[in-house]
Chain A
Amino acid sequence: MFNRLRPVWLVAKRELRDQFRDWRVLLPMAILTLCFPFLMNEFAKETIEFLNQYGANLVLERLIPISIMIIGFFPITVSLVVALESFVGEKERGTIEPLLTAPFDDWQLYFGKLLVGAVTPLTASYISIGLYLFMISRQGLALPDGMVMLQLFLLTTAHAILMVSAAIVISVQSTSVKAANLLASFIVIPVAILMQGEAVLLFWGNETVLWLGILGVLIIALLLIRVGISHFEREYLLGREIDTLNFKWIVRTFWRNFKGGAVSLRDWYGRVLADSLRRARPALLLMFLIALTSAWASYEWIMVNVSDTIEKASPKDLATIEENIEELPDLASMRGHLDASFLFLNNTRSMVIIFLAGLTSFSVLGVLIYILNIALIGGVYALLELIGISPIPIFLAGVLPHGIFEIPALMIGSAVVLYIGAVLVTPQTGKSMGEVILEMLADWAKIFVGVVVPLLALAAVIEAYVTPALLLKVIGG
Chain B
Amino acid sequence: MIETNDLSKQFHDFVAVEGVNLSVQSGQILALLGQNGAGKTTTVRMLTALLQPTRGTARVAGYDVAKNGHDVRASVGVLTEHHGLYMRMTAEEYMDFFGQVYNLPASLRKTRTENLLEYFGLAEAARRRIGEYSKGMRQKLALARAMIHEPGVLLLDEPTSAMDPESARLVRDEIARLKSAQRTILLCSHNLTEVELLADKIAIIYRGRILIQGTLDELKRDVLGHPEYVVRFSNPWDAGGLELPEGMEMLTKTPTSFKVRVEAPEESNPILMQRLASLSVPVVAFQEEMRTLEQVYLKVMAAVRGKDYVQ
Show the binding face of A for B, using Cβ within 8 Å: 7, 10, 14, 17-18, 21-22, 93-105, 234-235, 238, 429-430
Given known contacts A10-B97, A238-B45, A103 and B74 CB-to-CB distance under 8 angstroms: yes
A238: which of B50, B100, B102 is its contact (CB, 8 Å)? Answer: B50
Are A99 and B84 touching (Cβ within 8 A)?
yes
Are B82 and A94 touching (Cβ within 8 A)?
yes
Are B102 and A97 touching (Cβ within 8 A)?
no
Are A14 and B86 touching (Cβ within 8 A)?
yes
Q: Which residues of B are found within 8 Å of A96, using beta-carbon distances?
A: 84
User: Which 9 pairs of residues, A with B, have the shortest CB-CB distance?
Assistant: A94-B82, A103-B74, A98-B84, A95-B84, A103-B73, A21-B88, A97-B80, A101-B78, A102-B101
Min Cβ gap B47→A in Å is 10
Q: Check: B70 CB closer than 8 A to any chain A CB.
A: yes
Give the interface size class of chain B.
Answer: 20 to 34
Q: Check: B299 CB closer than 8 A to any chain A CB.
A: no
Are A103 and B78 touching (Cβ within 8 A)?
no
Name 15 extra pairs, CB < 8 A, besides A14-B86, A17-B89, A103-B102.
A14-B97, A17-B88, A17-B93, A18-B88, A95-B84, A95-B86, A96-B84, A97-B78, A98-B78, A101-B76, A102-B98, A102-B101, A234-B51, A238-B50, A238-B51
Give the distance in Å from the alpha carbon of A7 to the alpha carbon of B88 in the complex.
Answer: 20
Given known contacts A22-B88, A94-B83, A95-B84, A7 and B50 CB-to-CB distance under 8 angstroms: no
Min Cβ gap A454→B in Å is 36
Q: Check: B272 CB closer than 8 A to any chain A CB.
A: no
Given known contacts A10-B101, A101-B78, A94 and B84 CB-to-CB distance under 8 angstroms: yes
Give the distance in Å from the alpha carbon of A238 to the alpha carbon of B84 in the complex.
Answer: 13
Min Cβ gap A237→B in Å is 9
Give the distance in Å from the alpha carbon of A93 to the alpha carbon of B84 in the complex.
Answer: 7
Given known contacts A18-B89, A95-B86, A97-B84, A104 and B101 CB-to-CB distance under 8 angstroms: yes
Interface residues of B in 277-311 (CB under 8 A from A): none
Give the distance in Å from the alpha carbon of A10 to the alpha carbon of B86 in the complex.
Answer: 14
Are B88 and A103 touching (Cβ within 8 A)?
no
Are B52 and A18 touching (Cβ within 8 A)?
no
Are B86 and A234 touching (Cβ within 8 A)?
no
B85: which of A14, A22, A95, A102 is its contact (CB, 8 Å)? Answer: A95
Interface residues of B in 66-84 (CB under 8 A from A): 70-71, 73-74, 76, 78, 80-84
Q: Which residue of A lies closest to B71 (CB)?
A: A103
Are A235 and B86 touching (Cβ within 8 A)?
no
Min Cβ gap B153→A in Å is 12
Show the binding face of B for A, using Cβ within 8 Å: 45, 48, 50-52, 70-71, 73-74, 76, 78, 80-86, 88-89, 93, 97-98, 100-102, 142, 145
Are A98 and B145 touching (Cβ within 8 A)?
yes
Min Cβ gap A249→B in Å is 9
A101: which of B50, B88, B100 is its contact (CB, 8 Å)? Answer: B50
Give the distance in Å from the alpha carbon of A99 to the alpha carbon of B89 in the complex.
Answer: 15
Are B80 and A98 touching (Cβ within 8 A)?
yes
Q: Which residues of B are found within 8 Å of A104, using beta-carbon distances?
A: 73, 101
Q: Which residue of B lies closest to A234 (CB)?
A: B50
Q: Which residues of B are found within 8 Å of A235, using beta-carbon distances?
A: 50-52
Give the distance in Å from the alpha carbon of A236 to the alpha carbon of B73 in the complex.
Answer: 18
20 A/B residue pairs, CB under 8 Å, sorted by A: A17-B93, A21-B88, A22-B88, A93-B84, A95-B86, A96-B84, A97-B78, A97-B80, A97-B81, A97-B82, A98-B98, A101-B48, A101-B76, A101-B78, A102-B101, A103-B73, A103-B74, A104-B73, A235-B50, A238-B45
Given known contacts A18-B86, A22-B88, A94-B84, A101 and B73 CB-to-CB distance under 8 angstroms: yes
Q: Which residues of A are found within 8 Å of B85, using beta-carbon distances?
A: 95
Most chain A CB inside 10 Å of its own CB: which residue of B76, B82, B84: B84
Min Cβ gap A428→B in Å is 13
Given known contacts A97-B50, A235-B51, A103 and B70 CB-to-CB distance under 8 angstroms: yes
Are A102 and B86 touching (Cβ within 8 A)?
no
Give the distance in Å from the alpha carbon of A100 to the alpha carbon of B76 in the complex.
Answer: 12
Give the distance in Å from the alpha carbon of A96 to the alpha carbon of B50 in the complex.
Answer: 11
Give the distance in Å from the alpha carbon of A399 to the alpha carbon of B196 in the complex.
Answer: 85
Q: Which residues of B are found within 8 Å of A430, using beta-carbon distances?
A: 52
Given known contacts A14-B86, A94-B84, A100 and B97 CB-to-CB distance under 8 angstroms: no
Are B80 and A101 touching (Cβ within 8 A)?
yes
Give the distance in Å from the alpha carbon of A10 to the alpha carbon of B93 in the complex.
Answer: 12
Q: Which residues of B are found within 8 Å of A102, using beta-carbon distances?
A: 73, 98, 101-102
Q: Which residues of B are found within 8 Å of A18, using beta-carbon distances?
A: 86, 88-89
Min Cβ gap A319→B in Å is 72
Give the distance in Å from the alpha carbon of A22 to the alpha carbon of B131 in the complex.
Answer: 13
Given known contacts A235-B51, A430-B52, A103 and B84 CB-to-CB distance under 8 angstroms: no
Give the distance in Å from the alpha carbon of A101 to the alpha carbon of B151 in the complex.
Answer: 13
Q: Which residues of A are found within 8 Å of B101, using beta-carbon distances?
A: 7, 10, 102-104
Give the distance in Å from the alpha carbon of A238 to the alpha carbon of B88 in the complex.
Answer: 23
Q: Which residue of B lies closest to A103 (CB)?
A: B74
Q: Which residues of B are found within 8 Å of A98, using beta-carbon distances?
A: 78, 80, 83-84, 98, 142, 145
Q: Which residues of A are found within 8 Å of B74, using beta-carbon distances?
A: 103
Min Cβ gap B38→A in Å is 15
Q: Which residues of B are found within 8 Å of A429, using beta-carbon distances?
A: 52
Give the distance in Å from the alpha carbon of A104 to the alpha carbon of B50 in the complex.
Answer: 11
Give the distance in Å from the alpha carbon of A257 to the alpha carbon of B102 in the complex.
Answer: 44
Q: Which residues of B are found within 8 Å of A101, using beta-carbon distances?
A: 48, 50, 73, 76, 78, 80
Min Cβ gap A331→B in Å is 60
Give the distance in Å from the alpha carbon of A234 to the alpha carbon of B74 in the complex.
Answer: 16
Q: Which residues of A are found within 8 Å of B48, using beta-carbon distances?
A: 101
Min Cβ gap A106→B in Å is 9
